[in-house]
Chains A and B, each alone.
Chain A
Amino acid sequence: MDVLIPLLLLVLVGYVVGTWIETQHFKNIRERERRTRNLPALTMKLPLASTQVSDVTLVSGSVVVSVDYFKRFVMSLIQLVGGRISSYETLMDRARREAQLRMKEQAMQWGATSIVNLRMETSTIANQNKKNNLGTVEVLAYGTAIKARSL
């Protein structure tokens, strides 16, 4: 019983604070996505043939995010029966969108008109404490920013 109480407390704190942080983060992401909407990021290798390119550079954005204690707890329960873990899906969604936004913001500062060959890379970050390994990921988004000559 003595072990159970701190665990439940952690789960509860994780749920309340974690959910709040996530809601704030999504709100922030949506707002920044609106602001960067007119900078297209394409996964195509080359810009359109009609584009008059004046300058190119490599841009990247990365973020490390982790899940809260509540989600980790839910995950361990789901793992008993298997199935979809939607709480981790939102984590990855957040990470990818955040990394893309950082890349786009860097490109905008440089004066890019579009980004081509967008690539994403995901890697798990290992903690010294083996138990906490689950749920800390780094997402890196990188691409080639293009500055087009205005016609």
Chain B
Amino acid sequence: MILTNIETIPGKTIVKHYGLVSGNTIRAKHIGRDIMAGFKNIFGGELKGYTELLEESRNEAVSRMVDQAKSVGANAVVNVRFSTSAIAQGAAELYAYGTAVSVE
């Protein structure tokens, strides 16, 4: 599965479009991480727990998108976009979407 965030795959030609594929995940931070982040808020700097959490969630959203693309018979996803939204306090939605295509 080839993923790009441009409209084409350089060096290959798109032979078929399958339309939109997407994957999302909503994650809440667990309380331990939140307390630790609260401490780190005093000193500033990177909040590693959150970075990891968001990274994991984003990977999950991407893998769901890839699964969907596989199920329609695509071998690549072009024009992948990410979006993050805080839907509730302490929870965030990670969303990845793109166009499933077949390339040769």
Spell out A's residues near B (CB within 8 Å): 10, 13-14, 17-18, 21-22, 25, 45-47, 51-58, 60, 62-69, 71, 91, 98, 116-117, 119, 121, 123-130, 132, 135-136, 138, 140, 142-144, 146
Contacts and interface: CB of A to CB of B under 8 A. Distances in A.
A123 B84 contact: yes
A146 B47 CA distance: 31
B82 A116 contact: no
A14 B44 contact: yes
A125 B45 contact: no
A57 B34 contact: no
Contacts, number: 133
A66 B41 contact: yes
B18 interface: no
Contact of B6 (A45, A60, A126): A45
A62 B2 contact: no
Contact of B34 (A46, A62, A124, A127): A127
Given A91-B44, A123-B85, A138-B50, 5 more contacts: A46-B6, A62-B55, A66-B47, A117-B5, A125-B92
A107 to B, nearest CB: 13
Nearest to A126: B86
B42 A51 contact: no
Q: Sort A-B residue pairs by CB-CB distance and give the 3 closest, nearest first.
A: A68-B44, A53-B11, A58-B3
Interface in B6-31: 6-11
